[in-house]
Amino acid sequence: MRLWPKSLLGQVLLTVALALLLAQTVSAVLLFQAGENRREQAVLNSAAFRLIAPEGPRAFREMRRGARRAGVPREVSRRLPRPLPLETATTAELLTGETRDANLESELKKILAREGIAAEEIVIVKRDAAADPFVQSNPRLQRRLARRGDDETRLLVAALRQPGAAEWQLARIPIPNGPRAAVTTIVLQTLVLYVILIGLLFLLLRRITRPLGELTKRTEEFGQNAISTAPLQQNGPEDIRRLIAAHNVMETRIAGLLSEKDVMLGAIGHDLKTPLAALRVRIESVTDEHERSKMAASIEDITQTLDDILTLARVGKAHEAPERAELSALLGSVVEEFEDRGRPVTVAETTRVVYPIYITWLRRGIRNLISNAIRYGNAAEVSLITTPEAVTIRVDDSGPGIESDRIEEMLQPFTRGETSRNRETGGAGLGLTITRAIAQQHGGELTLSNKPEGGLRAEIQLPLIWSPAVR
């Protein structure tokens, strides 16, 4: 499955969304760590105050005020749970698996020193409330902790032995869990940011990508037909509008040049065919039949070459719309033309495909490929193949093929597989060039390749995306 979008709009939106998610994740982690540090500091201040202050509600209020004086935020100090009763013991034993927290012990020692309390030794551990022996021996404390539910399941146990004292004072402070509302707030904040930022960015990018999409479509259409229509409307930011304006000017100039070229070629063709026709009449006065035949053949060669050049110039300039046609029927009609003349042509494989085509032009292209296969490969085998991506018209022959380094050269104008200029062995070298132009006129391409068993394979590949009506 493709996760990364291909469009500019999708890539920018996904990049911003991922960046925002990363930023919010880092922010949430930092906020969580800061909250944990504040709660830990508040609990530690509570333990220090509990070790040096008397018990009772007043002492609890003083403990909260002391936490605020120590720099603990009000919202944290107000959530401090009421400490458990102070215990006096002869030892500060650790339960199995417990380890002392040296950092908290050092911090508590500093807090007590600021209050003028000397500490011979301090032991601090964190343990589950249900595993604490003091809580287990006091049902009232168990009921109190049970009423708090999951908010107070852990205890910070701080044991203090002052210099010269034989006993330890143990303070137990419930460790409050982090506020669940903070997670909800971060999630809601992220959603709001997503909606606002992605929404505004989507509107901005659509203002850019919509005219770019229209420009792309217009360029593709112009590349197919080279026919200039009404100028494309200039929308979007100033840079995009200037790009569209430049495209409109370029399109108009290219269409004008192509139109001038067609007019010029038509005039040249007319001007050349007129004297050629006169020459045909003049050679009838030549008494030598052999010379007259040679002159007539030369005139016919010139006329055919001129017709090929004019045909190449007109390919892709058709003003009529493509017609939906059944390709296998078109292929069969072209094959019948050659069979009626006794040419060796066979149909290997066909499928029924309806496709929008310029019938006259595509018929000309198929005819060129079959003629070449018969001329250079002795016989032609024609196939019509469909895949999920393309419709392929394939013409195979059993000839010698083409050298691999000459395949691209063979598609260029006036290039022949047989190097002589004799029309008995080949034309002017424009057949494949014309066929390639016809394939490109349909949004496809002409490819040549040598078959492993020998012979040349020519394929006109027409993309299915050019017509959604293929069935």
Q: Is residue 80 part of a domain?
A: yes
Q: pLDDT per residue over 399-442, tens digit each?
A: 888 888 888 888 887 676 654 444 455 556 778 888 888 888 88
Q: Are 156 and 36 contained in the same domain?
A: yes
CA 285, CA 77: separation in Å to the nearest integer? 122
Share of the chain above pLDDT 70, in %: 83
Q: Are 333 and 454 contained in the same domain?
A: yes
Q: Are 358 and 222 contained in the same domain?
A: no
Burial 3-19 (b: 16+ CB within 10 A, else e): eeeeeebeebbeebeee
Contact of 16 with 197, CB cutoff 8 Å: yes
CA 335, CA 344: separation in Å to the nearest integer? 10
Q: How far is CA 101 from the centre of its chain?
A: 51
CA 331, CA 195: separation in Å to the nearest integer? 56
Confidence (pLDDT) at 466: 55
Q: Is residue 124 part of a domain?
A: yes
Q: pLDDT per residue over 151-167, tens digit each?
A: 557 888 888 888 888 88
Final residue before a domain boundary, out of 152, 178, 204: 178
**Over the chain, what is the mean pLDDT?**
80
pLDDT greater at residue 260 or residue 72: 260
Q: Are 169 and 72 contained in the same domain?
A: yes
Confidence (pLDDT) at 349: 81
Q: Is the pLDDT of residue 459 over 90?
A: yes
Tokens (6 digits) for 172: 């137990």
Asked which of 110-114, 268-272, 323-327 is least confident by mean pLDDT, the reply is 268-272
Q: 4 falls in which pLDDT band (50, 70, 90)? A: confident
Mean pLDDT value of segment 298-319:
73
Structure letter (DSSP) for residue 149 = G
Q: Is the pLDDT of residue 270 over 60?
A: yes
Per DSSP, the residues of 321-350 read PPEEEEHHHHHHHHHHHHHHTT--EEEEE-
Specify the number of domains making up the chain.
Answer: 3
Q: Is the pLDDT of residue 316 over 80?
A: no
Q: Is residue 457 part of a domain?
A: yes
Share of the chain above pLDDT 90, in %: 10
Q: What is the CA radius of gyration of the chain?
A: 45
Per DSSP, the residues of 48-72 read HHHHHS--SHHHHHHHHHHHHHTT-
Count of alpha carbons within 13 angstroms of residue 448, beta-carbon side: 23
Q: Is residue 184 part of a domain?
A: no
Q: Are 390 and 433 contained in the same domain?
A: yes
pLDDT greater at residue 55 or residue 191: 191
Q: Is residue 129 part of a domain?
A: yes
Q: Is residue 169 part of a domain?
A: yes
Q: Are 290 and 387 contained in the same domain?
A: no
Q: Are 275 and 373 contained in the same domain?
A: no
Q: Provide the 10 A C-beta neighbour count for residue 97.
A: 7
Contact of 332 with 365, CB cutoff 8 Å: no
Mean pLDDT value of segment 246-260:
87
Final residue before a domain boundary, out of 272, 296, 314: 314
Q: Are 116 and 237 contained in the same domain?
A: no
CA 84, CA 50: separation in Å to the nearest integer? 9
Burial 157-178 (b: 16+ CB within 10 A, else e): bbbbbeeeeeebbbbbbbbbee
Q: Are 98 and 166 contained in the same domain?
A: yes
Q: Are 292 and 346 contained in the same domain?
A: no
- Between CA 132 and CA 134, with CA 133 as vertex, the angle to 5 degrees is 95
User: Which CATH number belongs to the domain containing residue 410 in this structure?
Assistant: 3.30.565.10
Tokens (6 digits) for 87: 């215990």
What residue numbers bound the domain in which 89 lies?
8-178
Tokens (6 digits) for 216: 């792309």
Region label for 274, one of left (φ > 0), alpha (ψ between -120 and 50) or beta (otherwise): alpha
User: Which CATH number belongs to the domain containing residue 263 in this structure?
Assistant: 1.10.287.130
Contact of 88 with 178, CB cutoff 8 Å: no
Q: Is residue 453 part of a domain?
A: yes
Residues 6+ apart with CB under 8 A from 329: none
H or E element at residue 391: strand 390-396
Confidence (pLDDT) at 423: 47
Q: pLDDT per residue over 49-80, tens digit each?
A: 778 765 544 544 555 555 555 554 555 445 54
CA 373, CA 369: separation in Å to the nearest integer? 6
Q: Are 83 and 110 contained in the same domain?
A: yes
Confidence (pLDDT) at 40: 82
Q: Are 20 and 166 contained in the same domain?
A: yes
Q: Is residue 191 part of a domain?
A: no
CA 200, CA 196: separation in Å to the nearest integer? 6
Mean pLDDT value of segment 168-172:
86
Contact of 101 with 158, CB cutoff 8 Å: no
CA 213, CA 240: separation in Å to the nearest integer? 11
Q: pLDDT per residue over 111-150, tens digit each?
A: 888 878 888 889 999 888 888 888 888 888 777 777 765 5
Q: 196 falls in which pLDDT band (50, 70, 90)? A: very high
CA 443, CA 456: separation in Å to the nearest integer? 23
Q: Which of 448, 466, 444, 469 shows the shortest CA–CA distance to 458?
A: 448
CA 445, CA 466: separation in Å to the nearest integer? 12
Final residue before a domain boundary, out of 264, 281, 314: 314
CA 176, CA 41: separation in Å to the nearest integer? 12
Tokens (6 digits) for 292: 């007259």
Q: pLDDT per residue over 276-300, tens digit each?
A: 888 888 888 878 888 888 888 888 8
Confidence (pLDDT) at 382: 92
Q: Which of 84, 103, 18, 14 shows the shortest CA–CA distance to 46?
A: 84
